């Protein structure tokens, strides 16, 4: 089944403890993105990648890192999480062609205490 | 700057009633346009998309959307809403003038369906 898989689905962590949220897609998509969703703010893009080893900042990149060493994987790294990074995170992927639309993962609910 | 606006934060309808969710965009040229639905606890699912041609596009789950260039709008409609349609709906746009093809999302409209 074609899908975007994020792990974990839920995570509670403490301030400053490094964490990684994994994202993997099995559709050979070139584009991958990370979004955070907060009440009243909709979806805001954190980072995106247009292909292997090609990444760029989105609208809210501060406090996050990403890497794209393989086409299928696009992990999101929080080196030193803070409470303002408590949010619902989504990974998404797409073919390079603009009109295909994005396929989203099921989300990761992160709480930083 | 390019933007997508969904003017309604919440919409409440009765089951069986018709539905229209509004979306306006601000782009230099007509962008590619999308509607997504997010059910509670789920990721976003693509409902329909518009590139060019026929301004009325059909999507999944009985939804349709109409593109109106003169109003810079791409409103989502459904003739008869079911309780299972209660969800968050997002309009999105991608620039058609090339570049990164990264979508801009509206802030979403929460649909509440009363029995």
Contact A101, A94 (CB under 8 A): yes
CA A108 vs. chain centroid, Å, equals 9
- Where would I find the beta strands (DSSP E) of chain B? 3-5, 10-14, 19-21, 24-26, 32-38, 44-50, 56-58, 64-68, 73-78, 87-94, 104-105, 109-114
Contact A13, A19 (CB under 8 A): yes
Residue A99: which of B32, B36, B90 has the nearest Cβ?
B32
B42 interaction partners in chain A (CB closer than 8 Å): 106-107
Instruction: Of A41, A63, A40, A65, give the one whose Cα is nearest residue A55.
Output: A65
- The tens place of each residue's pLDDT in chain A, 113 residues long, gives 889 999 999 999 999 999 999 999 999 999 999 999 998 888 999 999 989 999 999 989 999 999 999 999 999 999 999 999 999 999 999 887 656 788 999 999 999 99
- Cβ–Cβ of B101/A33 closer than 8 Å? no
Q: Which residues in B38-59 are b (16+ Cβ under 10 Å) and which e?
A: beeeebbbbbbbbeeeeeebeb
Quick one: tokens of A76? 């999101």
Q: Which pLDDT score, from 0 to 100, does residue B100 have?
A: 62
- Cβ–Cβ of A98/B96 closer than 8 Å? yes
Q: Which pLDDT score, from 0 to 100, does residue A20 have?
A: 98
Residues 6+ apart with CB under 8 A from A65: A76, A77, A78, A79
B102 interaction partners in chain A (CB closer than 8 Å): 31, 33, 45, 48, 58
Q: pLDDT at residue B101 above 80?
A: no
A-B contacts (CB, under 8 Å) = 59
Instruction: Of A41, A70, A39, give the one whose Cα is nearest residue A53.
Output: A70
Q: Which pLDDT score, from 0 to 100, does residue A99 have?
A: 64
Indicate the pLDDT class of residue B99, thresholds 50, 70 and 90: low
């Amino acid at each position: 089944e074609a899908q975007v898989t994020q792990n974990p689905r839920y995570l509670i962590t403490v301030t400053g403890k490094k964490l990684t949220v994994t994202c993997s897609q099995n559709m050979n998509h070139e584009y991958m993105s990370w979004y955070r969703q907060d009440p009243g703010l909709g979806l805001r893009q954190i980072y995106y990648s247009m292909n292997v080893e090609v990444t760029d900042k989105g609208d809210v990149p501060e406090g996050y890192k990403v890497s794209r060493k393989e086409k299928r994987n696009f992990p999101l790294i929080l080196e030193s999480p803070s409470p303002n990074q408590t949010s619902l995170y989504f990974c998404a992927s797409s073919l390079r062609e603009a009109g295909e639309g994005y396929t989203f993962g099921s989300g990761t609910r992160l709480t930083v205490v | 700057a390019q933007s997508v606006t969904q003017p309604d934060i919440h919409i409440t309808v009765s089951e069986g009633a018709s539905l229209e969710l509004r979306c306006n965009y601000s782009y230099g040229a007509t962008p590619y346009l999308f509607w997504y639905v997010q059910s509670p606890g789920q990721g976003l699912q693509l409902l329909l998309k518009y590139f060019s041609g026929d301004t009325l596009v059909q999507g999944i789950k009985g939804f349709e959307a109409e593109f109106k260039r003169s109003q810079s709008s791409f409103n989502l409609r459904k003739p008869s809403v079911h309780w299972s349609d209660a969800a968050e709906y997002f309009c999105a746009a991608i620039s058609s003038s090339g570049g990164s093809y990264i979508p801009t999302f509206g802030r979403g409209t929460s649909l509440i369906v009363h029995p």
